[in-house]
Amino acid sequence: MPANDRIGLGRRGENLAVALLESEGYWIIQRNWRCAGLGEIDVIAVDPDDCLVFVEVRARRGDAYGTPEESITGDKKARLKLLAELYVQAFAWADDWRIDVVAVEMDSRGRLLRKTHIANAVTGWDD
């Protein structure tokens, strides 16, 4: 898949994820928060219970390379945890926080097949 297609798929996946989160009562604080040299967090939000939520959005077209959830490697999980910890420290967040995943699957024509919000997904997986 050409880079522009991947960027477009990622952007569409993020837009769908944000719409899903907002429909669940989440307040979106920021999108694409970057930390130099380490990467980015796709979406930062606060859930209806005032928990800070870092959201990794994984979008896939087709299942030739597995599900969106399966695409999160151990290295990616570790990086997400580090980024979340840095954000919490930088903004002096003193309350609860977690890392969620929104998985977005589309068919080869780009039609939405599913979007699934998995709360506490990264810290809930075995490391």
Q: Categorize the per-residue pLDDT at 44 as very low, low, confident or very high, splitting at 50, 70 and 90.
A: very high
Give percent of the chain with pLDDT exceeding 90. 66
pLDDT of residue 51: 96
Domain that holds residue 58: 3-124
- For residues 9 and 68, give the distance between their C-alpha atoms in angstroms, rounded to a whole number: 12
Q: How many domains does the chain have?
A: 1
Give percent of the chain with pLDDT exceeding 70. 90
- Has residue 59 got a pLDDT over 60? yes
Nearest to 69 by CA among 114, 8, 118, 112: 118
pTM value > 0.75 = yes
- In this structure, how many other beta carbons lie within 10 angstroms of the beta carbon of residue 109? 6
CATH of the domain at 73: 3.40.1350.10
- Has residue 126 got a pLDDT over 70? no
